[in-house]
Amino acid sequence: MESAARRLLNEPREELQKNLGAEPMSLAVIPEALSDAPMVGRLATEIVRRFSFPDANYDGERLILLERIIDFAANAEREIQEQREKIAELEALARTDELTGLINRRGLEAALEQLLSAANRHDEEGVICYIDVDDFKGINDKHGHARGDKVLQKVAEIISDHVRLDDIVARVGGDEFVVVLTRTSLRNGLRKAKELQHTLDATVIGKGCNTIRINVSLGIQGYDGRTCLADVMAMADHAMYADKRARKLSLVPIGL
């Protein structure tokens, strides 16, 4: 652009900027025929000044000079990128549980849709585990909501430590969690679920009269590429409540 300015206006670009009072890197020389093009219009909405040089031409084309179009285009690009980053951050926050840092129900549903689509394409299967902290209301009533929050955070920590990086852990309700064991059979999923339940049931928080023993009910349901998202979630939830009823009756868990 500098060489064009020298040829067109017969003076160095620095002198041109000085004479016009423009900032460095804020001038653009374009053919007059393109001055009303949509792209130029979008970039030049904040042009401070517009100059026409009827006698200046290049290959027979009349030209115009637009001031600050380059700066504006660069600023617009930065603003667009910043806006995209803010939107991405807000979307991430909208899908994250504030207390545990896990994804929430909205985030889980989005992740499951992608998983089921991938399972359909690659003929994969997996297991969904629905976990509920037993008598969580009693914990809150006896120890207070702050201690109850600590219990939920501990449960989230234990679950996260017992799954693979490719698996998904979500908090979907007050005391309800969902674990998605990806690319695994129902048999392997059952084994892992039992191990996780045993670990959670052996967890104790606090000492003495402040001791809180964690117990959870758990139900599982397998999925593949043909599975309906709503159906598999409902069946895993139903299995969890069946397990909860069995545990209350001191029976062998039937939700598994």
CATH number of the CATH domain containing 170:
3.30.70.270
Give the three-class secondary structure for 156: helix
Give the three-class secondary structure for 227: coil
User: How confident is the model over 177-201, as pLDDT tens digits?
Assistant: 999 999 999 999 999 999 999 999 9
pLDDT at 228: 86
- The residue among 23, 51, 72 that closes a domain is 72
Is it the case that residue 71 has pLDDT exceeding 50? yes
What's the chain's average pLDDT?
76
Same domain as 235, residue 194: yes
User: How confident is the model over 127-175, as pLDDT tens digits?
Assistant: 999 999 999 999 999 999 999 999 999 999 999 999 999 999 999 989 9
Is it the case that residue 52 has pLDDT exceeding 80? no
How many CB atoms lie under 10 A from the CB of residue 65? 21
Same domain as 121, residue 58: no
List the strands of the sheet with 125-133, edge to edge.
168-171, 176-181, 125-133, 216-224
- Per-residue pLDDT band for 45 (boundaries 50, 70, 90) equals very low
pLDDT at 162: 95
Instruction: Report yes or no on 93 lying in a domain.
Output: no
Please indicate whether residue 144 or residue 89 has the higher confidence score (pLDDT): 144
Instruction: Report yes or no on 94 lying in a domain.
Output: no
Instruction: Report yes or no on 80 lying in a domain.
Output: no
Same domain as 45, residue 111: no
Instruction: Report yes or no on 256 lying in a domain.
Output: no
Range of the domain at 18: 2-72
- Per-residue pLDDT band for 74 (boundaries 50, 70, 90) equals low
Is it the case that residue 9 has pLDDT exceeding 90? no
pLDDT at 104: 94
Same domain as 147, residue 206: yes
Same domain as 192, residue 237: yes
Please indicate whether residue 200 or residue 120 has the higher confidence score (pLDDT): 200
pLDDT at 93: 62
Same domain as 225, residue 132: yes
The tally of domains found in the chain comes to: 2
Please list the active-site residues: 175
Instruction: Report yes or no on 64 lying in a domain.
Output: yes
Phi-psi sector, 64: left (phi>0), alpha (psi -120 to 50), beta: beta
Instruction: Report yes or no on 42 lying in a domain.
Output: yes
Q: Find the farthest-apart pair of alpha carbons in the chain and give their distance in angstroms, rounded.
A: 97
Is it the case that residue 101 has pLDDT exceeding 90? yes
Same domain as 198, residue 133: yes
Instruction: Report yes or no on 215 lying in a domain.
Output: yes
Positive or negative CA dihedral for 110, 126, 175, 242? positive
Same domain as 236, residue 189: yes
38-44: which pairs have CB atoms within 8 A and are 24 or more residues apart?
40/66, 40/69, 43/69, 43/72, 43/73, 43/76, 44/69, 44/72
Same domain as 138, residue 38: no
- Per-residue pLDDT band for 5 (boundaries 50, 70, 90) equals very low
Same domain as 109, residue 63: no
Same domain as 134, residue 62: no
